Amino acid sequence: MARKVVNRKELRAQSDAAEARGKTKSTKEKAVKEKKVKEPKKVGAKKTVRKKVAKEARMKAYWGVFNSGMKRLALFEYADKKAAEKKVQELIASSKVHHFLQLIKEAISE
């Protein structure tokens, strides 16, 4: 079904003629326009949410002596690194299994 072609020039001429006569937009169009301009939507204030602050656990550093199977064999204080290295060398010399030193951090329980 064919639609009727809209002649924009004729519609513009009719609109200009209506304005000249003082009959601008219909009351329905005015009401819609006033409604849009009259009140913008009110946006409620956002509630402030207090986030829980995670208590940071205090950590203490140790030196751990491990075998190749990641089994901890000995634990030394952080200041006793030389003693830990000495223990690693003794274990390597006594057995053919590889041993190594690794830094460990554990939480302090108060």
- What pLDDT, on the 0 to 100 scale, is given for residue 105? 95
- Whether 47 is covered by a domain: the verdict is no
- Whether 42 is covered by a domain: the verdict is no
- Whether 68 is covered by a domain: the verdict is yes
- What pLDDT, on the 0 to 100 scale, is given for residue 39? 59
User: What digits encode the pLDDT tens for the residues 21-49?
Assistant: 875 555 556 656 655 555 566 777 788 88
- Whether 74 is covered by a domain: the verdict is yes
- Whether 100 is covered by a domain: the verdict is yes
Based on the domain organization, do 63 and 31 belong to the same domain? no
- Whether 41 is covered by a domain: the verdict is no
- Whether 82 is covered by a domain: the verdict is yes
- Whether 16 is covered by a domain: the verdict is yes
- What pLDDT, on the 0 to 100 scale, is given for residue 27? 56
Residues counted in the chain: 110
Domain holding 22, by residue range, is 10-35
Domain count across the chain: 2
Based on the domain organization, do 31 and 65 belong to the same domain? no
User: What digits encode the pLDDT tens for the residues 46-104?
Assistant: 888 888 888 888 999 999 999 999 999 999 999 999 999 999 999 999 988 899 999 99
For residues 26 and 33, the answer to whether their CB atoms sit within 8 Å is no
